[in-house]
Structure 1
Amino acid sequence: MSVTYPIGFLAAGISAGIKPSGKKDLALVFSKEPAIAAAVSTTNKFKAASLLLSLSHLRQAGEKQAVLLNSGNANAINGKEGMAITNRIVSALAKALKIDLPSILFASTGKIGLLLPEKKITGALSKLVKNLGQNGQAAAEAIMTTDRVSKETARETNISGRKGMVRLGGMAKGAGMIKPELATMLAVLTTDAVIEKEALQMALREAVNQSFNLITIDDDQSTNDFVVILANGEAANRRIKKETKEFYLFQEELTGCCLELAKKLAADGEGANKLIAVKVTGAWSLRDARRVSRRIAGSNLVKTAIAGESPNWGRILSSAGSCSARMNPQKISLSLAGTPVFDAGEIVAYPEKTMQKALAASEIEIELDLGMGNFSATAYGCDLTEDYVKINKEYS
C-alpha cells in the first residue's frame, strides 16, 4: 500500500527511456477528484525547473489533481530552454488528463545540468495515463535514483468519515545529497481527508520538521527537494480545522508517515549498512536539541566510526561540543548502542565484548543527555563506507 491507499487516488510508474538502464523513470500520482495541496521545498538558491513550475502552480488559486515525477534527470540549472521544455511537458500532460494546467505539479530527480528528453517524456505520457491504477509501488520505483529499495507508507487515522476512517499514503526517494532543510529527496503524500488548506499546510510543515528535516546522509542539499500532499476529501469526514482535536490526530498520523519515510531514506543512504539514530534529551530548547542531534548524525567522523564498529565515543562529544547550543560538559551523559560511556564529565567503564556485539547491529542508537532543560529531538543518519565514494564517483 502506498499513495493509492486513500480513497480516490491512482498511480502509475513506467519507463520513458530517460535512464539508459531502461528502468522505470516516469511516475504519476492522480486524484480522481480535485484536491487541495500543501508543500514544502528546498531552500537551495538553484531550484530545478520542475520545482519552479510547481511553486508557481501552488501560488495560483484552485485545486490540484496530479503530480508528475521523473528520475534520471534533475531538470536543474539548465537555463531558459529547461524551463520551456518543462512547461511544454506539463501542458502535454494536462491535455492527456483533460485537466487544467495549474492543477499539475512536477518533480524531478537525477543528474544536474541536463535538459529533459522532451520527446521521450511526451511520447510516454499516453502510456503513463493508461497505466493509472493501484500502482503505487510502480510509481515509487520510478522515482528511484541511487536508492536500493523503494520507500512507501500507508496508514489509517482515528478520524471517521461517511466512507470510513481517514487514510494517508506516501512514497519518497532519497539516497544521496541528504541534509536537513529538507534533504535531497522527493516525497508525495496523499489523504482522503476533508481539511482546511491552512490546516493542511500547518500539519505538513510540522510533520516535515519532525522527520525529513531531521535526517542527514552527506550534508549536501539538493536543488530539487520537494514534499507535497494532496487531500481530496473523499473520506467525507467533518472538515478538519487547525488547533482542533481532529487536527492534532491528523497531524500525529501525518508525522508518523513522514517519519517512517524519513527513516527509510536514512537507512538507504548511498553505501550505507547501518541506520544511526541520535536522540538528544535535556536540551535548553527544541532548537538546541535538533541542532545537536543533526550535527552528530551528520559528522563524518561519527559515521565512519559506526561503519567500522568502533566505540570511538569521543567523536560524538567533540561533534556535539562544536554546536552553538547551550551545554555544560559536567552535566552531560552519553550512551552508545545502549551502553553508558560518559556521565557528568567522567568516563564510564564498559565491557568491550558487549559494546562490540552492540555495534555490529544494523541500527545504532546514540543517546546524549545535555542536562540543561526538558527539550528533546531525534535525528537520523547512516554510516559512511567506501561504497559511498564509489557510488558517487561512478554516478552519471
Structure 2
Amino acid sequence: MLVKTKKHHIDIIENGNVTSPKGFSAGGVHTGIRKAKLDFGWLHSDVPATAAGVYTVNAFQAPPLKVTQQSLSVDHALQTIVVNSGIANACTGEQGMEDALQTRKWVSEKMRVNEHHVAVASTGLIGVTLPMEKIEAGVEAMTHKDNMSCDRFEQAILTTDTVTKKIAIKLKIDGKEITIGGAAKGSGMIHPNMATMLAYITTDANVEAESLQKALRIVTDHTFNMITVDGDSSTNDTVLVLANGLQNNHPLDENHPQWRLFVEALQFVSQELAKQIARDGEGATKLIQVNVKGAPTIETARHVGKAVISSNLVKSAVYGADPNWGRVVCAVGYSNQPVHPDKVDVALGDIHVVKGGLPLPFSEEEAKSYLSNDDVHITINLNDGKESCAAWGCDLTYDYVKINASYRT
C-alpha cells in the first residue's frame, strides 16, 4: 500500500512488524507472572543501535524507567529490550530498583551485550514487587528457538489490550531501502502526555543520536501525546526508538537532504501505533478523531483537541450516537485557550452542526447514523489562524467501568 506524505511516499509492509527492519529479532514466553498468557518479551538488535526515548510525565516514575534512562545516558545506544507484563514494578522503593537492575544484569549476561545496552520495562499492577525467580526464568528462555517470534513479543507485552499493535513501512533514503517497524501496547490509563503505554520503534537506518532524540520528541508531540482513553496517566510509559544503521546510508541528521522524509516516516509509524492504542481503549467500540483547524498557534490547536477528545461527556455521546454538539463547544470553551466563540464552526463528519458559535439546522437521524460508525471524526474550525492538529480517543462505554472495577480481582 502506497501512502503519500506531504511531498514523499512510503510503502506499508503487509504483515510488517517491529522486526521487519534488518537485524532485529523478538520473542516471548510465559513465566507464570500471569495465569496463562505470555508475560515476558524481548526485542534484540544484532548490533548496538543508536537509541532515543521519551517517558511518562507522572511524578511516580517506576524503577524500570529510571534504569532504562540510566542505560541510555551512557552512549545513547541500546541492543536489547525486555518487558514483563502483569506487574508494573512501580511504587516498590529500593527493592524495585534493585530488581530492575538485577534484570538488566541477567539480560546482559544471557545475551552477551553491555549492561548499559539493555533497557527494561514493566507493565501491570502498581505497588507489587517482581517475582524475580520468574523474571530469571524468562531471561533464561530468551535464547530458546521455540520462543522466538515477533507475535510472541507482541502478545507478551499486553495487559488489558484486546489486540496487538504493529506496523512496518519502507522508504528509499540514499538509494537504499530503509525499513521502520513498530510495536505497542496500551488500552487503559491512556492520556496525554502518554499513559500505560509502551511503544517500540525500530529502523535499520543510520541516524545520528542527538537528531534521533529531537525527532522523537517532535513526533511524540504530534502522535502519542495526542491520544486519550480515560484521562489517567500512568507510571511506566515509555517510547523507545532503535536505529541500528545496518542499511549503511549516510548518517541522517537535520542537514541530510532526506531528513524530512525520515521524520515524516517516523511520524507515520508513531501515528498509526497511537491510533491503534486509542481504538483498543478498554471497552471501546469506536475510534474518535478530533480535527482542529484555523488555530492561531499549534499549542492552541493541541489544547483544544485534547480538551475535546478527553471529555467524558463527548465520549459518552459518541458511544450513544447522540449528536449533542453542545458538549463539543463546551470542551472547546474550557480548554483555557484564546478562543473566539463567535468564530467557531463544528462538524460531525460531513454534517455541519455549528457555524460562528450558533447552531445550524441538521438532520438528527443523519447525524445519529454517522455517529454509529466505527470511526467518528469531529472537526472544529476556530477560524483564527492557520495551525491545525489531530487528536485521537475512543468512546466511553459500560464495559470500561466493568473492566476497571475488577482490575485487581
Q: TM-score range by the shorter chain?
A: over 0.9
CA distance in 2, matches of 1:7, 1:209: 28
> Offset of 1:121 from its aligned partner?
1.2
CA distance in 2, matches of 1:296, 1:158: 38
The 5 A counterparts of 1:203-218 are 203-218=215-230
CA distance in 1, matches of 2:404, 2:204: 39
Contact 1:160 1:166 in 2 (8 A): no
Q: Tell whether 2:21 aligns with 1:16.
A: no
CA distance in 1, matches of 2:57, 2:336: 22
Q: Deviations over 1:47-100 (max 9, x none)?
A: 111111001111112632011111101010011111111111211111111111
Closer, same or farther in 2 for the Cα pair 1:304/1:199, shift >3 Å? same
CA distance in 1, matches of 2:145, 2:87: 22
Q: Which residue of 1 aligns with 2:246?
A: 234
The 5 A counterparts of 1:297-312 are 297-312=309-324
> Offset of 1:243 from its aligned partner?
4.3
Contact 1:75 1:108 in 2 (8 A): yes
Q: Which residue of 1 aligns with 2:19?
A: 4
> Offset of 1:391 from its aligned partner?
0.3
> Offset of 1:128 from its aligned partner?
2.1
Q: Which residue of 2 aligns with 1:368?
A: 380
Out of 352, 356, 372, which is 2:364 matched to?
Answer: 352
Q: Which residue of 1 aligns with 2:40?
A: 26
Contact 1:70 1:142 in 2 (8 A): yes
> Offset of 1:45 from its aligned partner?
1.0
Closer, same or farther in 2 for the Cα pair 1:299/1:139, shift >3 Å? same
Contact 1:10 1:132 in 2 (8 A): no
Q: Which residue of 2 aligns with 1:141?
A: 155
Q: Which residue of 2 aligns with 1:283?
A: 295
Closer, same or farther in 2 for the Cα pair 1:345/1:81, shift >3 Å? closer
> Offset of 1:258 from its aligned partner?
0.3
Q: Which residue of 2 aligns with 1:266?
A: 278
CA distance in 1, matches of 2:21, 2:263: 16
Q: Tell whether 2:84 aligns with 1:75.
A: no
Closer, same or farther in 2 for the Cα pair 1:374/1:358, shift >3 Å? same
CA distance in 2, matches of 1:352, 1:194: 54
TM-score for both structures, normalised by structure 2 = 0.94
Contact 1:198 1:242 in 2 (8 A): no
Q: Tell whether 2:269 aligns with 1:257.
A: yes
Q: Which amino acid aligns with 1:8?
A: G
CA RMSD of aligned residues (A): 1.3
Q: Which amino acid aligns with 1:367?
A: T
CA distance in 1, matches of 2:301, 2:234: 24
Q: Tell whether 2:127 aligns with 1:113.
A: yes
> SS at the partner of 1:50?
helix
> Offset of 1:203 from its aligned partner?
1.4
Closer, same or farther in 2 for the Cα pair 1:153/1:134, shift >3 Å? farther
Q: Which residue of 2 aligns with 1:90?
A: 104
> Offset of 1:165 from its aligned partner?
0.6
Q: Which amino acid aligns with 2:54?
A: V
> Offset of 1:186 from its aligned partner?
0.3
Closer, same or farther in 2 for the Cα pair 1:244/1:358, shift >3 Å? same
> Offset of 1:125 from its aligned partner?
1.4
Q: What is the aligned-residue identity percentage?
A: 39
CA distance in 2, matches of 1:359, 1:193: 41
Query: How many residues were matched structurally?
Result: 393
> Offset of 1:124 from its aligned partner?
2.3
Contact 1:199 1:247 in 2 (8 A): no
Q: Tell whether 2:93 aligns with 1:54.
A: no
Q: Which residue of 1 aligns with 2:4?
A: none
TM-score for both structures, normalised by structure 1 = 0.97
Q: Which amino acid aligns with 1:122?
A: E
Contact 1:4 1:134 in 2 (8 A): no
CA distance in 2, matches of 1:259, 1:381: 12
CA distance in 2, matches of 1:279, 1:346: 19
> Offset of 1:338 from its aligned partner?
2.1
Q: Which residue of 2 aligns with 1:122?
A: 136
Out of 202, 207, 212, which is 1:200 matched to?
Answer: 212
> Offset of 1:159 from its aligned partner?
1.2
CA distance in 2, matches of 1:243, 1:285: 26
Contact 1:175 1:266 in 2 (8 A): yes
